[in-house]
Amino acid sequence: MTARLTQNPSINLMTDSSFDVLIAGGGVIGLTTGILLAEGGLRVAIFDQSLMGTESSWAGAGILSPPQCGPEANELDQLRSHSVRGLASFSAELDHLTGINNGFSICGGLIIPDANENHEKWPTEWKKNGIAFVKPDYPHAFLAKYGLATFNSEVYWLPEKGQIRNPWHMRALLARLNQLGVRLFEKTEVLDWGLCSNGQIRSFITAAGEFHSSWFILCAGSWSGELARKLGVNVPVTPVKGQIILYQGQVGMLPGIIEQGKRYLVPRSDGRILCGSTEEYSGFDKTCNPESVSQLHEWAATIAPILKNCPIEQKWTGLRPGSRDNAPYLCFIPNQKQAILASGHFRSGLQLSWGSADLISREILQKKKPINLKAFSLDRPCGALMGMFKN
């Protein structure tokens, strides 16, 4: 056993393989988990069928909801809070260690209720859950101050809403993984699982060969169900396409993030403004739908008229890994003792990434976990994990 492994003498590790943990999927979940495990002294390899961090984790908006601490917070709320708090210090640490700023900032967010939303109960819920908010007495004046349309009678300002800049975060994660010596196998699809005679997983089978290990993590985002099926396991994760458009805006154009229902505007620090998003169930198709683009643009211009003639610099889509109840699965793969599933983060994978990685790595490193994984099992009752925020 190597010196590094003596840090965790109780862990059951094979001595004849070069890796302790193999990870299928190099999105934000796989990359963050790889860092925490490597920092815990394990030898880790990550496989991605494409380039690392270029799927949903690159495409998302990176909105972070405020942490909440109310007595009614369920495990998903707890995970979100644990994760967003952790992400703050993790981001600072990544910046310090790699010199790459991932754009983490608490920029505040304006919520404009949708016509069909029962927003009158929100202030009571937020108060109960320790979420800071301001309800401007003169919403028209508040909106007009920022050049926003003033047809909405009620708005709420959540000062603790934050954001992270996805591509920058991916870059920082990859730099840290390289520092830690984690092996990154890009364009190396995990094709199948190698099994022992007792049915336990013993390897990844890839085009680059067979890789053995004692622990395995399946975090292949929208593709997790495909890979699980090869084990005969049903993982109900479905791709949900989301459309984004990027405006070439200017710094200070918006007061902060603006959300209305499932749509949002996210101002970046360099003046760019990201507008999203749609929820489209069209399999693995990632083409931009011109109708979705023009609907988003129309909505953006209704909220912030200045965007009507603002140049669109870029547009793209991403595939969110949707689960049955839009909450992640963080659990052992059925019938496996050393293989973990971490997928189905839907609209919240960026903000849940550090917390998910923390729970999984604690499971493998045999450390006490702040939240019980049981709540995130594949067979939890549907609706048990309704979250307070959409993103």
Ligand X SMILES: Cc1cc2nc3c(=O)[nH]c(=O)nc-3n(C[C@H](O)[C@H](O)[C@H](O)COP(=O)(O)OP(=O)(O)OC[C@H]3O[C@@H](n4cnc5c(N)ncnc54)[C@H](O)[C@@H]3O)c2cc1C
For residue 291, give every residue at least 6 positions away whose Cβ sits within 8 Å of its Cβ, in sequence order, or none: none
Decide if residue 389 touches ligand X (CB under 6 A). Answer: no
Decide if residue 237 touches ligand X (CB under 6 A). Answer: no
Q: In this structure, are residues 132 and 66 in contact, taking their beta carbons and an 8 Å threshold?
A: yes
CB nearer to ligand X: pick between 25 and 139? 25
Contact set for ligand X, span 21-40 (CB under 6 A): 24-30
Put residue 353 in one of left, alpha, beta given phi > 0 → left and psi -120 to 50 → alpha.
alpha
CB nearer to ligand X: pick between 265 and 307? 265
CB of 243 to ligand X, least distance (A): 7
Q: In this structure, are residues 25 and 184 in contact, taking their beta carbons and an 8 Å threshold?
A: no
Decide if residue 349 touches ligand X (CB under 6 A). Answer: yes
Q: How many CB atoms lie within 10 A of CB 230?
A: 12
CB of 110 to ligand X, least distance (A): 15
Give the integer Cα–Cα distance in Å for 95 and 113.
Answer: 36
Decide if residue 91 touches ligand X (CB under 6 A). Answer: no
CB nearer to ligand X: pick between 50 and 366? 50
Give the integer Cα–Cα distance in Å for 286 and 148.
Answer: 32
List 190, 231, 341, 357, residue binding ligand X (CB under 6 A): 190
Decide if residue 223 touches ligand X (CB under 6 A). Answer: yes
Decide if residue 242 touches ligand X (CB under 6 A). Answer: yes
Decide if residue 227 touches ligand X (CB under 6 A). Answer: yes
| Token pair listed for 299 | 């909505």
For residue 26, give every residue at least 6 positions away whose Cβ sits within 8 Å of its Cβ, in sequence order, or none: 46, 47, 48, 51, 52, 53, 184, 186
CB of 112 to ligand X, least distance (A): 17
List 20, 75, 77, 189, residue binding ligand X (CB under 6 A): 189
CB nearer to ligand X: pick between 158 and 350? 350
For 226-299, strand residue ranges (E) read 238-247, 257-260, 263-267, 273-276
CB nearer to ligand X: pick between 91 and 391? 391
C-alpha closest to that of 36 among 61, 9, 8? 8
List 107, 244, 254, 307, residue binding ligand X (CB under 6 A): 244
Per-residue binding letters, 303-342, with ligand X (x by CB under 6 A): ---------------x-xx---------------------
Q: Where are the alpha helices (DSSP H) in 56-164?
A: 56-59, 75-98, 122-128, 139-145
Number of residues that bind ligand X (CB under 6 A): 43
Decide if residue 50 touches ligand X (CB under 6 A). Answer: yes
For residue 241, give every residue at least 6 positions away whose Cβ sits within 8 Å of its Cβ, in sequence order, or none: 278, 279, 280, 281, 282, 285, 286, 317, 318, 319, 320
CB of 240 to ligand X, least distance (A): 8
Whether the link from the prior residue into 57 is cis, omega within 30° of 0, is no
Could you list the residues that contact ligand X (CB under 6 A)? 24-30, 47-50, 55-57, 59-63, 189-190, 219-223, 227, 242, 244, 276-277, 318, 320-321, 343, 345-351, 391
